[in-house]
Each structure stands twice: as C-alpha cells, then as structure tokens.
Amino acid sequence: MNRDESVGPMGSREGALCAAAQAARGRAYAPYSGFAVGAALDTAEGEIVTGGNVENSAHNLGLCAERVALFSALSRGLHPAGLLVLATDAEIPTPPCGGCREALRELAPKMEVLAVARGGRARRWPPGALLPGTRRQARGGVLDPRALIARKRDGGALAAAEIAALVGGLAAGEVEEHQISAFMMAVYLRGMTAEETRDLTSAMLASGERLDLSALPGPRIDKHSTGGVGDKISLPLLPLALAAGLRVPMISGRGLGHTGGTLDKLESIPGYRATLPIERLRELVGDPGGFIAGQTAELVPADRIMYALRDVSATVASEPLIVSSILSKKLAAGLTGLVLDVKFGRGAFMADRARAERLARLLVETAGALGLPAVALLTRMDEPIGDTVGNALEARESFAFLDGGRGPEDLRELTLALGGLMVALAGRTPTMAEGARVLERALGDGRAAEFAQRWIAAQGGDPRVVREPRRLRVSGRQRLLRAEAGGRVAEVDALAAGELCVGLGGGRRYAGDAVDPSVGLEFLRRRGDRVAAGDPLVRLYLPEEAPEGQIWPEERELVRIAPEAPAAGPRIVALVHAGGVSDDPWNTRLSAAGRSRPARYPG
C-alpha cells in the first residue's frame, strides 16, 4: 500500500473522476454511520459511472459506494476498467471494505483504486494489492470457516493458525461477516481457553499496522476503563501523566448505550480533532507526549468489524471477545504498560465483583502473556462519578478539577489512583499511593493544566477551555428536579442517570446516532446529604428542541430519599496484578506484586 499520493490535475481524466466521486458523495445516504462516501469508476466505453453509499435500518443490507458504482456499470452493460476513485471527508484516505475488495477482485480484477480524503490527501492501490488472490490456509489446507465455527459451537478448541486464518480472512474480505457473527456466538456460548483468547488477540493485532514508538525514550503507559456513567477520568488523567514524565498514547472510543465515551466529551471542545492519521499520532507522542484519539483505519481493522458485529449479534458480553478487542488495540498503540479500570455495579457492564474480577484477571494474564505489563483496579459504579453526566458538562468539570484541584472527592480519588498506578507501573514509584503524590504535586503547581493546554492545542482544540471551562457550551434550557419529601439522599442511580442522558440526546442507542454535547445532568445533592421537601436535587440541561413540559421516565429514578442513608462502599475495591489480587491497592508494591517483564509484541 502506497503512502500519500498526489491526485491528477482537474483537467485530466483522473481529476474528472475525483470531481465525480466528490459529487457522488453529496448524494450518499448515510444517516446511521454519518460517513458519506462517493465513488466514480472509469469504463472501457469511456463513460464515468458514480455511486454513493446507501444505508438503511437493516444495517447489513446497505451498499457501499464502490459497489453501487460497480453494479450500476455492469447492469448497464459497461465494462469497468482503469481507475476507481473513492472520496470521503475523513482525515485519512479510506480503502474499500472487505466485501468491496472481494467484489472488485471478481468483477473488476484489473482496476486500480485511489482513495481521496479531506484536503486532497490520497492513497493509491494497484490492481490486486488490496486483496491478493490466494485463500487463507489453516492446518495445511484451505480455510473452511464453517468447520471452525462448528468445532467451536460443539465446545472444541481452535489452534492458533486456525484463529489467525479466520481473523485474517475477515480483514481481507475472504470470510463473510455473517460467518464471523456465527463464530462470535459460538465463543459467547462455549467460551475460549486462555490460549485461544491470547491467540485471538494476536490475530486481531496482526490484521493491521502498529504505532511504532520504539525510538522514543521513556515509558509509554495508557489507561482503559470498561465503561461507566460520568466517567470523565481520562480528561484530567492524560495531562497529569504527561506532567509526571510519562508518554500516553491513548486510543479511545465513543459512547454507546448508557455509558459515555471519552471522544464525545472531547469533541465538545471547539476544533478538537479526535480522528488523526497514524503519522500525526506518532508526532504527538513525541510532543507534547501523548494524545487521546480514535482508532485509525490502519490499526486493528479486524476489531473495527468485529466490534460492530458484537452489538448486532448480541455477543457484547463475551469475555474473550472483550479482552481481545481491548488488548489488540492497546498492543497496536505501542505501549510498555497498561492500567485497567474494571468497573462493576448498577451503572457498569459487569454487575458484580466476581464477574469483574474474572474479567480483570483474564485481561491482566492475557496482556502479560503477550508481553504487555498490565494491572487492573476493581472500582464500584453504582453512582455516577463526579457531579455531572453529559459531554460538555463533564469536560467542564474535568478542567475545573485540573485548574486548581477543585471538584468532587470521587473524581479526585479515582484520577489520582489510576494516575498513581500508571506512575508505579512505569517504575517511577513502588506503590499507587506514592505515584498519586507525584500527581498531586503536578496538580498543585499548575503543570498539569499547562500540559492540558498543550495537548488540546496540538489536537486542534481551543486551549482556553482549560482555564475557562465555561467556554464549553451547555444548553440554556434547564429544569430543576426537586425533592418530594424531606430526609437524606440514600442513592443516586448511575444506570438511570446514563439512560436519561441518552434520552436527552447526549448518548447513543445505535452506533450511527448523533450526539448533542450540550445536554446532560448536574447533581446538586449527593449520597448522605440532608434535604427538605422542595430542595433542588438535579439540574437537567434539556435539548433546545424538546417540547415544553416533556418528562423523561428516568427522572423519578435518579435520586432516592430515605430517612437515613446507608453507608456507601469504597469506590476502589481491589488491585488485580500479575501476582494475584490485593485488597490494599494503595500500598501494594508492584515489584512484589509481580510486575510483568518489558513488552515484547508477537510477530
């Protein structure tokens, strides 16, 4: 695959194809993904045929732009020849998906492909380069996905070469998406051994490029959360870690369901660019030292397909699929250490500690087996983190905390704990508690806020939001929820808060849903506070277009008032490390806990 290419002048045939593809992109119908694509192909008859991607609510029945153009040409008796141009508004040129590559190989095998992104950035693939003509091999024979699916369905184990062939076939378009969906259901029902989970992670990692950061000195440590409500920790954590001398290449995601996404919060900052080419990501790890960005097209392409299919195939909860998805992306990001925040409780993906601990152990053990030192905190997620839920509101709260340490105690505790663990995993301190003290100094002397400004500016955002969080726009339509009776706040329901935020438009029920960054909730009372009837409990930030007087069903479930409030359990419960589980995470010495050896990636 060639790197950045130039595009022919507008008066040339190539220039005409590029112009036609851009025009076709304007006619695309992509309300679910929000990713419009235009295609234009040349024909032996000299006619340019165009197409735009067309989606519908049955997601797997949509058509990509290149297939629309290809099928249109063939149905009219034309002969595709020469060049196919794809036009998108992405930061980087986007190659055809696996299905389109298969269609091109069968129906137009001599066609060259040129992908053009925003600003005219382009990449070119000669005929056959996107999808070689050989079939995947497994155990010495041609890959038969049906046989592997059947064996896993019946409880059998798969060899590393078989898993690699299956995942590699998916990335190359040689294995159909419905076959991978069936495979993932078999994994969901039958599970995987630790060795299979490791091999699946390795195969997904091998499906794309890696962020090579080996030339940069110093530890490269990232943090990953399994998802919660009001989980804004990454925003203050990144600049704190940079101020402590760590490099932090953080590949993050968007919200889906009741849990929020880090990228959605950051995109409430004017100008912030969460989608960046891999070359720019390398530069950012050099200066200012890290980034928070989305997964690129080059990194772990198999995971991009499987992640979407997990949702529609009802296999999201499969632990081997969770582990391989998380770790393949982290290994691709060039880390030397990984800190995991595995949450459990009403607002978390894992309902109880036992399940969370099992997942944390599998993550830590699999990462270690692949040469990536990892540790995991088990944290409680029954109530939202901090006082706000909603993208711009949470960004405001994060930056207010960074600039002077103001903020709720649980936000401060979790940020310093996870950051302290990153410092300890890097070998700078022996324990999480001592690492947290390093971060407290960076918070107090203003260095963390300065790094936040540098980081946001480097990704195109307005750095003034760090010192002036109120620059982030929130909805002007607000309504107070008041206590119906006196007593104490006995519970703030994280799940209800997350669902209400989605209902207001601040989250997604489906991957293609648009998000309103200005809406959300602000809790004015927390667990244990005494209230009188009529006291304000929650401020709602409503969508501007909401009908007057509209009530959302989750409003009544948000805050429970009782005569007395039960004591809350600790947010931070335990530390899972290479040597086992510690119920004293603050003072566990990582060297004694079995810090893994330095990272050595497979392949």
Question: Helix H segments across 154-277?
Answer: 160-172, 177-190, 194-205, 234-243, 262-266
- Catalytic residue from among 67, 224, 412, 526: 224
Q: Reply yes or no on whether 224 is catalytic.
A: yes
The residue among 264, 246, 259 whose CA lies nearest residue 316 is 259
- Catalytic residue from among 207, 325, 475, 518: 325
Side chain identity, residue 150: A
Q: Is the distance from CB of 77 to CB of 67 less than 8 angstroms?
A: no
> What is the Cα–Cα distance from 559 to 45, expressed in whole angstroms?
69
Q: Is the distance from CB of 211 to CB of 282 less than 8 angstroms?
A: yes
> What is the Cα–Cα distance from 382 to 569, expressed in whole angstroms?
10
Integer CA distances (angstroms), 594 to 125, 244, 354, 368, 589, in order: 47, 23, 22, 10, 9
Between CA 553 and CA 552, with CA 411 as vertex, the angle to 5 degrees is: 10
> What is the Cα–Cα distance from 224 to 247, expressed in whole angstroms?
15
CB burial class (10 A; 0-12, 13-18, 19+) of residue 569? exposed
- Catalytic residue from among 310, 380, 526, 577: 310
> What is the Cα–Cα distance from 138 to 174, expressed in whole angstroms?
13
CB burial class (10 A; 0-12, 13-18, 19+) of residue 62? middle
- Catalytic residue from among 42, 303, 341, 382: 303
The secondary element (H helix, E strand) that includes residue 374 is strand 374-380
Chain-centroid distance, C-alpha 384: 20
> What is the Cα–Cα distance from 529 to 98, expressed in whole angstroms?
56
Side chain identity, residue 489: V
Q: Reply yes or no on whether 75 is catalytic.
A: no
Between CA 450 and CA 459, with CA 455 as vertex, the angle to 5 degrees is: 150
Q: Reply yes or no on whether 325 is catalytic.
A: yes
179 C-beta neighbours (distance < 10 Å), count? 16
> What is the Cα–Cα distance from 319 to 362, expressed in whole angstroms?
8
- Catalytic residue from among 124, 220, 247, 329: 329
- The two three-digit tokens of residue 468, written as one number: 């002036």
Residue 288: is the preceding peptide bond cis (ω within 30°)?
yes
Rg (the chain; Cα; Å):
25
The residues carrying an active-site annotation are 224, 303, 310, 325, 329
